[in-house]
Structure 1
Amino acid sequence: RAEAMDPITERLVDDAFRESLNAWDVSNIAWGLAQLQVRDEAVLEAVAQAAARLAPGLTTQGIGNTAWAFATLGTEHLELMEALASQAMRSDVLPRFKPQELSNVAWAFATLGTQNEALMAALAEHILEANMLHRFKAQELSSTAWAFASMGISDPALMRGLSTAAIEPDTGRRFSAQSIANLAWAFAMLGIPDVTLLETLSARMMRYDTIHSAKPQEVSSLAWAFAHLGVRDAKLLNALAERMISRNVIKQATAPTMANMAWAFATLRVPHEALMRVLARRVMLPDVMADLESQHLVNIAWAYATLELRHVPLMMALADQAMERHMLPTFTPQGLSSLCWAFAKLNIHHQLLMSTLAREVMQKRVLTELTAQGVANLFWAYAKLRFRSQKLLGCLMGRIMQPGMLDTLTPQGTANVIWAFAKLEVYNAEVMATLSEHVVRTAWLFGAQGVANIAWAFASLATRDDALMSALASRSRDVDVLEAFTAQGLAVTSW
């Protein structure tokens, strides 16, 4: 019990007592403090200093336990971590590491966000050269993969080795839901679309005992990983959705967990209505809504809009939360653009929200960081909702006309900007001329919808541009565009 440690913790801050300890003593004390969740700053500082001083005498188990302890307590002590790394990399120490000790060290440095590329490279090299992976347990494989991915370290040879070891049947039988989720998450974070591994992890997660033991975080992490890699596994996604909406699971789901789940299903275009309905109901709970960070809020709104699920009560609740004074400054430029797009996509008119977001967009910190696609989405959203603000439009026009911006805009984005001008009945000769020149140069990239929208916009604004119309006419005769025209698109273009 933690209270039983009080006499001991009192002695730990005594210099003379600490001087009597050896490396093994300090390692055991750190481990005990972590097990009992003792977070007394003075005590941890004293133990960290002692451990750093005695690090040259630590065994591999001592290194692993000490690193694990401070990571578990969320206490980063740079001097200690540097001392542990130096000891771990010694030529007479590194070969003695066991799989669990290695994974503990990697996990600890990643959990604390303590960057030490030399240490991670040494660990990876030793794991491979000593052919250790066949001895790694499931948790050790997943923890190691998670650690490297969390630190953004991509070691192709190590990741191949981890994948091969994880696919082996005798290893797979011991995989928990957490190990499966962490391993998939790691490969997704590093952008490694290992299809065989993902298929194996999918099959393991769908085992009855595994899926029914999965926690909300594990469910959403696995869904996120598959979505991030663009892998649409319908059976797995359905199993994950059913697990998430079960009563004992959804009531434990946190705001970030639900945001990731919604984002994953929307990214893969899987409209699981029961899941989205349950997620909406829980997100709208006051305590959950209050925990939403701006990116979570944006991801949820974007997900429902992408899936075209018009849940008005949810969107109104998200709007109220977005307008909280503490929330507005935390939105990224992309986040503001995506939030506006979501309300427009669902055709939900919220005058106060759009006015508030417009003011935020016009802030220098946002406007100067908006991408061309972000500007295009804002143009489209405000035009779709018929929200007219000359000041906002002026700011957006100024941004999109900056050198090089149009060259980074997608054809659809270009068409949306031009369409927005016509929809809002806004005409600026210089801007329209520049946009026209851009379209003429890139006409071969536009699809049927883009051709129709641009032609309609220039005609609606009574703007004659022979070069533009000639380029659009030529593009509309191309087989791929001609066959893609809807009846309405063809009629609009002809008009």
Structure 2
Amino acid sequence: MAWNGSTGSSWTGSWWSHSGTQWDAKEEWDAKEEYHTDVASTDVASSSTLGHQPGRSSDGACLDGDASRPRGVPVVGASSKCLRRGGSSRQMSDRVRRQLGQCEADQILKVAGRCAGHVDVSGAVAALQTLARDTSFKTNGKDRRIEGILQILRKPLLSGHGFADIRQFTSVAWALARLHVSDGPLLDGLEQEAMARSPEFSCQELSSISWAFTRLDIASPAVIEKLFKQAAAKLSELSPSQLASLSCLAARAQDAGENLMEMIAANSKPLLPEFTPRDLSSLAWAVASLRASSEEQLMEQLADEAIAKVKDASSMDFANMAWALAEMSMEPDHYTVAVQAEVKKKMRELSSQDLSHWLWAFAKVGIQGDELLEALCSDAIGKASTLTAPDLCSLLWSISKQPASVDGVLVDALAQRTAAIASQFSGQQLAQAMSAFSRLQKVDAPLLEAVSAAVRANLRDFTPADVAGLAWSLAQTGGEDRPLMQAVCSEAKRRLNAFSLHELTGMASACATASHLDRGLMQSIAAELVHGSSIAQLSPQDVSKVTWACSKLMYMDERLTAVLSEACVTHIAEFQPAHLANILWSCAKITNKSEQLIDALCGTSMGLIEDFNGQNLANTVWAIATLNFTVTEKMEAFITQTIKKIKEFGPQGLANTSWAFAKMEQKFDELMDAIAEEAKAKANEFEPQNLSNTAWAFATLRIESQDLMMTISEKVIAKVNKCSCRDIASTSWAFARIHMPNPELVTAMSGVALQRVSEFEAKGLSNTAWALATLGTKDCVLMNTLASAVMRKINECWSSGTTKLEDLATDLNGLTWAMEHAGFLTDDLSKTILNLMRSLGRAKDIEMSRPNRPPPAKIETVAPEDHPGDVPILREDLPDMCCIHKPAGWEVDNQDAGGGPWMSGWLMEQFKINDVPIVHYEEHQFGMVQRLDIPSSGLILVGKTWEGFYTLKWQLQTGKLTREYVLLVHNWVALDGRVNERSFAEKATEGDVAPAQIRVVAHLRREDEEDVQLSLVVMSVQKNRRGDLRTHFVGAGHPTVADGKYSEREAYLRDREWCSRKFMHCYRLQWQDSKDVVRDCLEPLPHDLRESLAKLKPRGEESAAAVREWLDGKKPRPWQSYANLQGLDCDG
């Protein structure tokens, strides 16, 4: 199966295969039908060469039921009364037997149906043989009208009495195989009969039984052992054709047949010149089916012998040999040349069946002869109107597999012919045809109408395999005919208990592929799988299919999930890369976070990582990221394989892989460079979603790949009208995140956003507004339209209860920042937003006061005693908010992972969950409103209620929350105010205002290094982008003292000689509480910073006076009360 992450995915099994073997393997048994017709005829005919025995006619039909009946076997259906006019039952039976011996196939069904009670076993065998020889009846072999004949044959097989004549037994086996009969009890009886009579088998009978059992897929260990034991004893007596038949049964037995295959191969090599082309292709098929790599020499000899006998070979012989060579990964050029030469010679003589065989061989071996393919297709066009259903299906499959494009005229002709004779198709053939047309992208209304009519007329006669196959084929067409798909699903549900495990999982997969959720059917399938005793027999492919189907349809069933998870863990060693990747993808879609299952899947995947193709790699990493699992310690092998196979990745694989690493916050430069290069090369193939996801991933990781982002912008502009609202929001956010203005892109996205504003979700609208504001839009109409839409969507979502309250508050918070940053936040809009924020907060407070509130996540806090030093101090405690002094070394944001104790842990100890629940929830930042870096100290605000928290958030975004800092920076800051006139922050553009206003209160020097100049400044911040403050000072030439992140390493180390930490302290906060009362809090300079400041030498008396004020430990003054240096000590 294959998943588009998003994908997912499609399942490509072939439902019209016999017993699970894919039809595209082109089984050798199709090729051998004519040959084994002769074998069976010989067996049956041999009874007449013995002379007329009493009571038996030359055609093998019993004339006298009693005389010919073996002991203990009654005449089936004998009646004491005649059906008509009082004649004796024996006379009636004699008349029926004679009719059966003389009837054509279409008449047999009528005779057998009306007079089944007067037919004994011999008559039933004769009738069955006649039907099996009739090619027009062959495809209807599973027709329920032969039930009467099968009922007669069940009596000797199921009673244990068996057949009187062993030749009768082999004839029945041959006929059942020719008709593809899938009657379980009957085949079980056949198996038991074979085990009992195997010592009696001659070489010819052993060959015929081997052929029949292979076709019927009878391969139980007991019967295989008996047959193989008998075969080994007679191996030297077997003819080439008999060796070929036996090899195919050995191939069907797989592991159990390997030893016998070695003996067959050894005995066959000296006899190869005597093999017919049919025998050669049969033996080649068997060797390839077993993947017997040790027999490559034999395969080469078979191919050479086939070339030598090319004039006698049929097209099917070539096709089967081509399949075998392809399966063995052998490409002998001389065989390919011979194939093409033979086709050219026989072009005018080819039948429609020959055409399909040749085209199939071309597809399998990969022959790229355009001229020859064109000639074959041209010939097929002329024969299209005369094709029968079987030939039509074979030809359709063959041309749908061609590596080169096929003439549209031929496809149209085949579609017309299919529509014309659709009523003659079996269920299997309809499935075949629709699947081929899907690959050929030819599913038009007349074709669908004809197929739909044929299906509806005969659906009750379809086998479970036909129903499942048809469902899959309809799914491949895109599920356009929903009523027909529903009818097929209803039929499947009606007799689901007759479906095999493979058919059950196939139905689920078909529904998922067609995005057709029939909940009743899925419940029935789940029940069959959960309560069935054979759940352990699910193959890896079946587990993969049904897991994928449940996830694709978002069908949740805890019992089924548990059973599938157990099956995965139990059989994990048997899984192939595709199965592992698909199941991981499915777990991610339905959020199945079973640690045992995920660990098993990830561990096994890493062991097989070299065998993963591009899609498997992309699906796996996407799933790991979606499930929030990390396998960092094993990522090296994964990354190596991804880079190695990057050319295999399609647009979705590239986008999903980059998205996954961004989601896991794992930045690997070599990998991302490889993805960027491949994405640029394949940009024309990217859909808008692939473009937006890739841009989002690179922006999230802050990778500024100019070439890639420019390529993405060009493609987005070209496809902007095809972009979804989410694509617009993600793309605009990505370019804003890395500060990459693109006026043309902004204009294109703005136009689409304005036209489709009603289609956006609240989050998308908020993110788009934020991004456009960041990218510098000045479109008043657009921004106000977005603002109105956000407000409307938030109210709608709140009323309907479809979105979490905190998510709505986040969207509103983003809108506030965007409108203020763009300069369009009016007083009325600001007040409206604040009222809505407070209302959301009050609603959240009510929600979280209830006893059934969700429990907070467990957080492993770092104990304060592990980090001796100052502890936080509660400076102002209000009912809905508080102000706290954070000492240096404490972490505000748990994601910083800097090793210090967490403020969240202190808050949870300070306030109990029933009193102040918000500080116990990480998803609400524990109530903390603003960040303060670990090395910094100062005041922070904490919301104690959600109403208080959202009120403070609104003030932070609108500049109503004033923060004032004292900093020590390098070099003497000029007193001309230039640093306050514009922004020097990283990525600042011309016209950007300074993120803060400063006043220089002192110029200083190092006592021991007077050339080191420093400035003590106070700073007022009302609104800024995170990170702008420090980069602003760095850009202006004044990095903060002891700032390990933004200072040069040598300067940082020199600073640390006399200053223990970054010299930055938030000394004052001013805000409004929930009653709009202005609050003010001040915090003196901590003792460690006072000690550092005391080591410095003021430049003059003006500076010295300012320094003394900070060193005395008293509460500082508000920023506006500090005067800038007047320059009185410039020369001091």
Name the TM-score class by shorter chain.
0.7 to 0.9
Superposed CA offset, 1:104-149 (max 9, x none): 99679979x99799999999877764x474572x445435555665
* 2:511 pairs with one of 169, 180, 187: 187
CA distance in 2, matches of 1:481, 1:98: 53
Give the Cα–Cα distance (whole angstroms) in 2 for the partners of residues 8 and 161 of structure 1: 54
Give, in whole Å, the separation in 1 of the partners of 2:553 and 2:540.
20
Distance of 2:755 and 2:479 partners within structure 1: 41
Q: Give 2:812's aligned residue.
A: 490
Distance 1:133 1:385 in 2: 57
Is 1:307 the counterpart of 2:631 in the alignment? no
Task: Kindly indicate whether the alpha-carbon contact (under 8 Å) linking 2:511 and 2:517 is maintained by their aligned counterparts in 1.
Answer: yes
Which residue matches 2:1067?
A: none
1:427 corresponds, among 723, 730, 741, to: 741
- Give the superposed CA RMSD: 4.6
Alpha-carbon deviation of 1:50?
A: 6.3
Query: Paired residue for 2:699?
Result: 383
TM-score, length basis structure 1: 0.75
Deviation at 1:215, TM superposition (A): 1.4
Q: Deviations over 1:435-457 (max 9, x none)?
A: 33332333323333223323333
**Distance of 2:628 and 2:270 partners within structure 1:** 61
In structure 2, C-alpha distance between the alignment counterparts of 1:6 and 1:142, rounded to whole Å? 42
The amino acid of 1:453's aligned partner reads N
- State the Cα distance separating 1:381 from its structure 2 match: 0.8
Matched residue, 2:489: 163
Q: Which residue does the alignment assign to 2:215?
A: none
Which secondary structure does the structure 2 equivalent of 1:396 belong to? helix
1:414 deviates by 1.5
Q: What is the Cα deviation at residue 284 of structure 1?
A: 0.4
What amino acid is aligned across from residue 386 of structure 1 in structure 2? R
- Against the structure 1 CA distance between its residues 453 and 482, is the aligned structure 2 distance closer, same or farther, given a 3 Å change threshold? farther
8 Å CA contact retained: 1:107, 1:146: no
Unaligned runs of 5+ in 1: 15-25
How many angstroms does 1:471 deviate by?
1.4
- 1:449 aligns to what? 763
Q: 1:150 to 1:455 in 2, by over 3 A?
A: closer
Describe how 1:150-299 pairs up with structure 2 within 5 A.
162-168=488-494, 171-246=495-570, 249-285=571-607, 288-299=608-619
Q: 1:147 to 1:396 in 2, by over 3 A?
A: closer
Asked whether the equivalents of residues 455 and 469 of structure 1 are also in contact (C-alpha less than 8 Å), the reply is yes
Counterpart position of 1:470: 784
User: Residues 32, 461 of structure 1: CA spacing in aligned structure 2 closer, same or farther, 3 A cutoff?
Assistant: closer
- Which residue is 1:321 aligned to? 641
CA distance change for structure 1 residues 133 and 85 in 2, over 3 Å: closer, same or farther? Answer: farther
The correspondence for 2:390, drawn from 64, 88, 99, is 88
Q: Is the 8 A contact 1:328 1:360 kept in 2?
A: yes
Amino acid at match of 2:711: C
Alignment partner, residue 401 of structure 1: 717
Given the superposition, is the C-alpha separation of residues 271 and 279 from structure 1 closer, same or farther in structure 2, using an over 3 Å criterion? same
Deviation per residue, 1:280-318 (Å, 9 max, x gap) = 111101xx2122111111111222222332332454433
After superposition, the Cα gap between the structure-2 partners of 1:453 and 1:109, relative to the gap in structure 1 and judged at 3 Å, is closer
Q: 1:388 to 1:152 in 2, by over 3 A?
A: closer
Match of 1:11 among 261, 270, 274: 274
Q: Secondary structure at the match of 2:673?
A: helix
Structure with the higher fraction of residues in helix conformation: 1
Q: Which deviates more, 265-274 or 341-350?
A: 265-274
CA contact (8 A) 2:452 2:484 kept: yes
Length, aligned pairs only: 455
Aligned mates of 2:648, 2:632 — CA distance in 1 = 24
Query: Shift of the alpha carbon at 1:407?
Result: 2.0
User: Structure 2: how far apart are the matches of 1:114 and 1:370?
Assistant: 22
Deviates more, 1:185-194 or 1:347-356: 185-194
Change (3 A) 1:10 1:142: farther
- Which residue does the alignment assign to 1:23? none
1:371 and 2:673 are equivalent in the alignment: no
Q: Secondary structure at the match of 1:347?
A: coil
Instruction: Report the equivalent of 2:1029.
Output: none
Does structure 1 conserve the Cα–Cα contact (< 8 Å) formed by 2:628 and 2:664?
yes
| Residue 343 (structure 1) aligned with residue 661 (structure 2) | yes
On the 8 A contact 1:206/1:239 being kept in 2, the answer is: yes
Q: Is the 8 A contact 1:280 1:314 kept in 2?
A: no
User: Do the aligned partners of residues 204 and 8 (structure 1) sit closer, same or farther apart at CA in structure 2, a change above 3 Å counting?
Assistant: farther
Identity %: 24
Alignment CA distance shift 1:139-1:207 (3 Å): farther
Q: Which has the larger radius of gyration?
A: 2
- Find the aligned partners of 2:527 and 2:563 in 1 and give their Cα distance: 11
TM-score, normalization by structure 2: 0.35
Q: Give how far 1:200 is off.
A: 1.6
Distance 1:317 1:360 in 2: 20
Cα distance in 2 between the residues matched to 1:8 and 1:120? 52
Distance in 1 of aligned mates of 2:549 and 2:281: 34
CA contact (8 A) 2:588 2:623 kept: yes
Query: Would the aligned equivalents of 1:133 and 1:161 in 2 still touch at CA under 8 Å?
Result: no
Closer, same or farther in 2 for the Cα pair 1:391/1:147, shift >3 Å?
A: closer
Aligned residue number for residue 17 of structure 1: none
Tell me how far apart the structure 2 counterparts of residues 12 and 385 of structure 1 sit (CA, whole Å). 66
Match of residue 352, structure 1, among 653, 670, 673: 670
Structure 2 letter corresponding to 1:199: Q
Shift of 1:388: 0.9
The corresponding residue for 1:20 is none
Instruction: Give the CA deviation at 1:329.
Output: 1.8
Change (3 A) 1:147 1:471: closer
Task: Give the SS at the match of 1:269.
Answer: coil
Contact 1:375 1:396 in 2 (8 A): yes
Q: Residues of 1 paired with 2:390 and 2:699: CA distance?
A: 60
Aligned pairs for 1:17-56 within 5 A: 34=285, 37=288, 40-41=302-303, 43=306, 46=313, 48-49=315-316
Give me the whole-angstrom Cα distance separating, in 2, the residues matched to 1:161 and 1:420: 46
Deviates most, 411-420 or 477-486: 477-486
Q: Is the 8 A contact 2:281 2:317 kept in 1?
A: no
| Counterparts of residues 108-187 of structure 1 (less than 5 Å) | 129=457, 131=458, 133-134=460-461, 136=463, 138-139=464-465, 141-143=467-469, 145-146=471-472, 162-168=488-494, 171-187=495-511
Range 406-415 or range 185-194, more displaced: 185-194
Letter in 1 for 2:657: L
